[in-house]
Structure 1
Amino acid sequence: MNVTEIVIEGDTPGIAWRLPILHFAGTKADAPKIYIQAALHAGELPGTALVHFLCERLRQAEAEGRILSDIVVVPHANPIGAAQSHFGEMQGRFDLGSRTNFNRDFPLISLRDRELLIENLDRYPAVDRLKRQLIHMALGADLVIDLHCDDESLQYAYIDEAFWPEAADLAAALKMDAVLLSDGESSAFEEAVSFAWKYEVPGEKKAKLPGKLSVTVELRGTRDVYPEMAKEDAAGLWRFLAARGAVQDDSVAPGGFSGPAVPLDNIEMIRAPQAGTVLFHRNIGERVAEGDLLATIITSPGMADGTIDVRAPQAGLIVTRVSDRLVRRRGDLMKIGSDRPSSVTRKPGTLED
């Protein structure tokens, strides 16, 4: 394993961040190149725990000559966000200076313009320099895995329809409970990567990208950071790498994915009609029927008419749930993966900011 680092100079005097990059050299020239990063939202740490144990396996495989692909691992992709704290709480999702989500506003370019990403970097603020260098590294790979987590959540992934159903092997290897099929219409990291591949020839869009993959994996919830869980997730990602020919492991047998694969238009975003204390009646992983009681919002504590019930607009699987119990008006409560499109019109792109 070779370790390098990218130094990102701050936008104010005396500040710099260091970004460690782990490299494993492959022995097979035609094996798919791999890029794995974790904690782009700096406080989302299940992925960092996963890659810690995955790298143990990779180092052993390297010593035994079983690394076939060039593999790049970024265990904590956002040192800028990790350094942000407000009243004792890390603020790792949004850049406090620009109020931009660290997983939005990645440059949308053609693959052939990849090197332009890192030209004249000094003209960009630190956050943009970080984003440009991350996506530059990713565009040198064939399989790109961006490890995130949700709030309270099942194991699931956002996968562009251009990679489905080929990417079902990743869903099976990581024992995902669901896959959300995205439309590739945002500037989030994994969709910026797929955009560059789709428009490798500017103006000519590819509908399918065989042999490629760029995916956001949601490793359950923010508090699901445990040693045995991380080791099992690392074993799952190892199985995927072995199945795709990135590492040699003859003991790996490919499995099948039996969970739902749901288009984003079929996701019911359950939101609080008013502010108040939320009392959940249903948990992640449960299937609900149309009209089922999902939550009660206490809007006026102690008053006879002080509650509002929130019910399921249609049947489906509860994929995520918010961990906060004091919710704002129109705040997110749940995502439910359903069999038919939601009646609420969705804009192209991501479900949330």
Structure 2
Amino acid sequence: MDVSEINIPGDTPGIEWRLPVIRFKGNDPAAPKVYIQAALHANELPGTALVHFLCGKLRQAESEERIAGDITLVPQANPIGAAQSHFGELQGRFDLGSRTNFNRDFPLILVRDRQELLDGLDDYPATDRLKRELIHMALGADLVLDLHCDDESLQYAYIDEAFWPEAADLANALDMEAVLLSDGESTAFEEAVGFAWKYEVPGERKAKLPGKLSVTVELRGRRDVYPGMAEKDAEGLLQFLIGRGVVNGGAAGDTTFSGPAVPLDNVEIVRAPQGGTVLFHHDIGERVSEGELLATIVTRPGFAEGDIDIRAPQDGLLLTRTSDRLVRRRGDLMKIAAEQPSKAARKAGTLED
């Protein structure tokens, strides 16, 4: 195991960020190379806990000479966001300086131009420099996992259709309860990696990328940081690596996935029509039917005539839910993985900012 740091100078004098990187050297040049990062949204820590336990398992495998492919781990991928605290609350999703989501605006380049990501780094602000360092490391791998989480949520993933259904082995290994098939039309980290592979030959777009994988894994909710969960997820991820030939020893697991795998167009994002106190009638993991009562917004406490009922737009699986109980007008309440396309208009790309 090799441990190093990438130094990222701050944008004001006296500031410097340090990005720890853990590497395991494989003994088979033909084996897939892996890149795994966690906490790009710095307040999403289930992935950091997973990598902590996974690292222990990989150290054991290394001592037994079972690591075939190179593995790179970045347990806390965003030291800039981790230092952003506003009135006592960590603000890890958006850069407070530029107001940009840390998981947006990654460079869209070709694989052959990978080295250019590191050219002239001193000309870029710290957040852009961080993004260029991260995607440079990722583009040296075949299997790329970006570990995130939602608010209150089931375990699910965003997987580009170019990697499906081959990626069903990952969904099964991590006991995912749903897969959202993305269109690859954004500048989020995992889609920027996929872009580089799809357009490896200039002017040609590959529809399928066998043997490759770039995925955003949503490891339940932000509060789901427990040793038992992290240990189980780490073991599942290890089994995925064994199945893909990255780590030797043990039989490959089941590669089938029985949960729903739906396009992003089938995701219903239920929003609050007015602000108020939200009373949920259903929990994540429950299946709901069209017209079923999902939540009530209490807009005028003490006056029932001000209550607003929120009903399911169609049948589906209640995938996520906000942890806020005082919601703003048009604030997101929940996501439903539905059986049919939503009637709501949606632009290509990510579901949310």
Shift of 1:253: 3.1
**Deviation string, structure 1 residues 84-113 (Cα, Å, up to 9, x no partner):** 000000000000000000000000111111
**Shift of residue 135 of structure 1?**
0.2
CA distance in 2, matches of 1:308, 1:220: 28
1:43 is the counterpart of 2:66: no
Hey, what's the Cα distance between the residues in 1 that align with 2:288 and 2:6? 47
Does the residue aligned with 2:305 lie in a helix, a strand or coil?
coil
Question: Residue 240 of structure 2 contacts residue 253 of structure 2 at CA under 8 Å; is this kept in 1?
Answer: no
Corresponding residue for 2:257?
257
Structure 1 Cα separation of the partners of residues 119 and 21 of structure 2: 20
Question: Residue in 2 aligned with 1:193?
Answer: 193
Which amino acid is the alignment partner of residue 291 of structure 2? Answer: G
User: Where does residue 92 of structure 2 map in the other structure?
Assistant: 92
Contact 2:242–2:251, Cα closer than 8 Å, also in 1: no
Partner letter of residue 242 of structure 2?
A: A
1:313 deviates by 0.4
> Match of 1:332?
332
Q: How far off is 1:228 after superposition? A: 0.6
Alignment partners' CA distance in 2, 1:184 and 1:252: 29
Whole-Å separation in 1 of the counterparts to 2:217 and 2:292: 29
Q: Helix, strand or coil for the counterpart of 1:305?
A: helix
**Does 2:257 match 1:269?**
no
CA shift, 1:252, in A, is 4.3
In structure 1, how many angstroms separate the alpha carbons of the residues matched to 2:252 and 2:200?
Answer: 34
Alignment of 1:113-262 (within 5 A): 113-262=113-262
C-alpha separation in 2, matches of 1:252 and 1:192: 29
- The size of the alignment, in residue pairs, is 353
Aligned residue for 1:59?
59
Give 1:21 deviation, angstroms: 0.2
Q: CA deviation at 1:256?
A: 2.1
Q: What do the CA deviations read for 1:275-315 (whole angstroms, capped 9, x no partner)? A: 11100000100000000000000111112412100000000
> How many angstroms apart in 2 are the aligned matches of 1:217 and 1:198?
20
Q: Distance in 1 between matches of 2:136 and 2:233?
A: 26
What is the DSSP-based 3-state SS (H/G/I as helix, E as strand, rest coil) of the residue aligned with 1:35?
strand
Q: Distance in 1 between matches of 2:201 and 2:255?
A: 35
Query: Where does structure 1 lack aligned partners over 5 or more consecutive residues?
Result: none
Indicate how the Cα distance of structure 1 residues 304 and 257 shifts in structure 2: closer, same or farther if over 3 A, else same. Answer: closer
Correspondence for 2:26: 26
In the alignment, which residue of structure 2 is the partner of 1:292? 292
Instruction: Tell me the distance in 2 between the aligned counterparts of 1:225 and 1:275.
Output: 30
Q: CA shift at 1:255, angstroms? A: 4.3
Work out whether residues 150 and 218 of structure 2, in 8 Å CA contact, stay in contact via their aligned partners in 1: yes
Residue type at the aligned position of 1:133: E
Point out where structure 2 has 5 or more consecutive residues left out of the alignment.
none
The aligned amino acid for 1:201 is V
* TM-score computed with the length of structure 1 as normaliser: 0.99
Partner of 1:352: 352
- Contact 2:159/2:216 (<8 A) preserved: yes
Identity, in percent, stands at: 75
Residues 259-268 or 200-209, more deviating: 200-209
TM-score normalised per structure 2: 0.99
Q: Residue 29 of structure 1: CA displacement?
A: 0.7
8 A Cα contact 2:173 2:253, kept in partner = no
- What is the CA deviation profile of residues 227-276 of structure 1, one whole-angstrom value per residue up to 9, with x for unaligned ones? 01100000010010000000012244334211000100000000001011
Structure 1 residue 69 displacement after superposition: 0.5
Shift of 1:345: 1.3
RMSD: 0.7
Runs of 4+ in 1 over 4 A off after TM superposition: none
Please name the residue that 2:82 is paired with.
Answer: 82
- 216-225 vs 304-313, which deviates more? 304-313
Secondary structure of 2:241 counterpart: helix
| 8 Å Cα contact 2:3-2:20 kept in structure 1 | yes
Q: What SS does structure 2 have at the residue aligned with 1:149?
A: strand
Distance 2:307 2:274 in 1: 10
How far apart, in 1, do the equivalents of 2:17 and 2:306 lie? 49
CA distance in 1, matches of 2:11, 2:185: 31
1:326 alignment partner AA: L
Alignment partner, residue 7 of structure 1: 7
Whole-angstrom CA distance in 2 between matches of 1:344 and 1:283: 23
Amino acid at match of 1:269: I
